[in-house]
Structure 1
């Protein structure tokens, strides 16, 4: 095979009409022309009607559950309380801990989203099986060495849980939402290196009429609170996206991928909701017919009064957000200058500008951007503030991306609390 080379992140936006594709897949499923892998169609309809199944995502633990050593079931790395808030089987990055970390999130600080537990896999025996009706011939298996012999590509990209910011539906908008009560720390940006999924699929003999691929992880089966076994985590991708900028990553920030982040190989799907970036990938089905799993039927779609009775199309691109690198309810001295820092990101375009308000939205000024805005990545920014009046204050950061979209004052609610994109009101006290 070709000698590995490092390629820069030069992916070009491809005109993929993801919304229309998902609408077509939804129609095919509802008319019985799509296979729902792992769960009978009648069970999916039952699950779809029971929005409460999203409660399979653990609720937030109280602050007393945090510790300075590993404290979440099944997470391998240390979770010091100054860096993480443990939330059930997950660990949220405390956003203030990113202030001095540089552009890329160190592995030590990177959030962990686990449905079950982190598996410990042997990279020397690991294989990736490519199979299904969308191949021209028999199934193919690739070892880690096989992937490393392919041309390598490096992408700087964020991975973000679709529920990031979920707690603000309640704390800012007074609405309930099921699932893990993330603040803004269910995101991290890293330098991912690996093989293009497109190269692997072509070597495996993908057919021209293939429409979907379905990566599946090697973590244990996920069992919901009511005892329904949904099998291993898996979620379909349209072939158009798979052949665009998706990689099979085996390195993270210049080091072998760590266990909590998908070792030995994970899928990285730039700009899309984090569930698409399957960790510990073990096989990929390639299909000539649309595929569905619980992770794009009853989970990771929008349900609620503003959406159709059957829910929205499956979620694809992430939304627009901003966060201050400042503790919640921080105390800041009056009559002193303060350098406020933060980060903004978008799944649809690059960040065009960030505006800051230090008076709860009465006035706004533009922040200074410290990174060249790039697709599927965040930018760091800063602004100066010299408060004079003592007492409570509210800081706001509002991003606008190159599609022309600006963070709104409120997010349309949905029952599972996905894609919160409103301006977050960050409370501080001037002392």
Structure 2
């Protein structure tokens, strides 16, 4: 099932009293809506598990730009790094702080009306089930948010990502479908809702509980993974250890980290993360907002912002991606969009990951130059010059004007 269609259906069912919010009322929804309407500040409650700090792994400045509990990968750190993002430079998106979860004591709890009864699995028990590996991107819905301001002069709220809130990894674990069937899945199950072991999340004065977001049973039984390895290594704490969800093709919030419980229901499920958050608000949208779409086509140069390049032949490299499927072509402009040349693609072009590319450039003059990469995917979707504004800064898919200096 397409994510946007599913989310729209669930919102309508919630408003009609046909979906369960598990302790989150429509009054809470209105409180949150009012808070967000005036630019409410997001905060965090006390952690549900011990935390070592906002982020555990080292964050050297040559690899990351740090935004409190979040860390953005610098694109220049990916040049020559291969198709997969190395674990040491994989971006981090936390709602609160990275929890410390003992893998030996860890249990995954499954419950709800969509099961024949509650079930529980240790990590070792999960590893005894048939295993699989998936190569897929995880991308924050707000990736590119700061470009609404720097390129379009528009105000947005949230973490000021450029384009580094994405990572492609090789995830190893067990299919969610395998675990659901082992737990006793009923034929009338409708929704599956994983929830994390990180701290409860508070917004607009409302304690929203653990981060959670429902999936339709069709998606849960398709390609969703419960992963305990990333790029052949044990999953690090910041990326969801001991177990996380990976939902190929859907926005990053669906890929719940530190998953500790999964509700399986024979009725529609609701969470603030599929109705109130991850919606488009602003002058182009109705007052109640529009449900977020899947991610859009994007491209990035493996180059520092405001990089200095020599007055000589240079090979420009980058990556392009789309939630719609593989990339069909990439065009590059080195004169701010006046003229375009087709880039050479290289390596894999996987449907839920990205396409690497390169192009040679011999600048004729020193001084300031603007580079632009514009990708087109297999559906024909491409990157426009501008995109409609939304106040939370989601889905920036316009052509990115990358400044460089030739000296």
**Taking structure 2 as the reference length, what is the TM-score of the superposition?**
0.95
56, 60, 83: which one aligns with 1:76: 56
**Structure 1 pair 222–22 and aligned structure 2 pair: CA distance change class (3 A):** closer
Equivalent pair of 1:75/1:117 in contact (CA under 8 Å): yes
Structure 1 position 120 matched with structure 2 position 100: yes
Structure 2 CA distance for aligned equivalents of residues 157 and 309 of structure 1: 34
Structure 1 position 279 matched with structure 2 position 264: no
Instruction: Compute the displacement of 1:413 (Å).
Output: 1.2
Which structure: greater strand fraction? Answer: 2
Higher mean C-alpha deviation, range 76-85 or range 196-205: 196-205
Aligned twin of 2:10:
25
Instruction: Compute the displacement of 1:166 (Å).
Output: 0.1
**For the aligned residues, what is the CA RMSD?**
1.6
Structure 1 CA distance for aligned equivalents of residues 13 and 3 of structure 2: 15
**Structure 1 pair 53–35 and aligned structure 2 pair: CA distance change class (3 A):** farther
Instruction: Compute the displacement of 1:42 (Å).
Output: 0.6
Instruction: Compute the displacement of 1:234 (Å).
Output: 0.8
Instruction: Compute the displacement of 1:295 (Å).
Output: 1.2
Structure 2 CA distance for aligned equivalents of residues 191 and 428 of structure 1: 32
Greater than 4 Å deviation, 4+ residue runs = none
117, 129, 138: which one aligns with 1:138: 117
Aligned twin of 2:290:
312
Structure 2 CA distance for aligned equivalents of residues 246 and 138 of structure 1: 22
Equivalent pair of 2:235/2:242 in contact (CA under 8 Å): yes
Structure 1 position 94 matched with structure 2 position 80: no
Aligned twin of 2:345:
369
Deviations 1:276-306 (A, max 9, x none): 0000000000112221112122211112222
Equivalent pair of 1:47/1:53 in contact (CA under 8 Å): no
Structure 1 position 321 matched with structure 2 position 298: yes
Structure 1 position 270 matched with structure 2 position 248: yes
Instruction: State the aligned residue count.
Output: 399
Structure 1 position 240 matched with structure 2 position 226: no
Deviations 1:137-178 (A, max 9, x none): 111111111111111111111111100000000111111111
Equivalent pair of 1:55/1:178 in contact (CA under 8 Å): no
209, 213, 217: which one aligns with 2:188: 209
Instruction: Compute the displacement of 1:92 (Å).
Output: 0.7
Equivalent pair of 1:75/1:260 in contact (CA under 8 Å): yes
Q: 3-state SS of the aligned residue for 2:31?
A: helix
Aligned twin of 1:10:
none
Aligned twin of 2:365:
389
Equivalent pair of 1:54/1:179 in contact (CA under 8 Å): no
388, 399, 402: which one aligns with 2:375: 399
Equivalent pair of 1:54/1:416 in contact (CA under 8 Å): no
Any gaps of 5 or more consecutive residues in structure 1? 1-15, 59-71
Aligned twin of 1:177:
156
Equivalent pair of 1:357/1:396 in contact (CA under 8 Å): yes
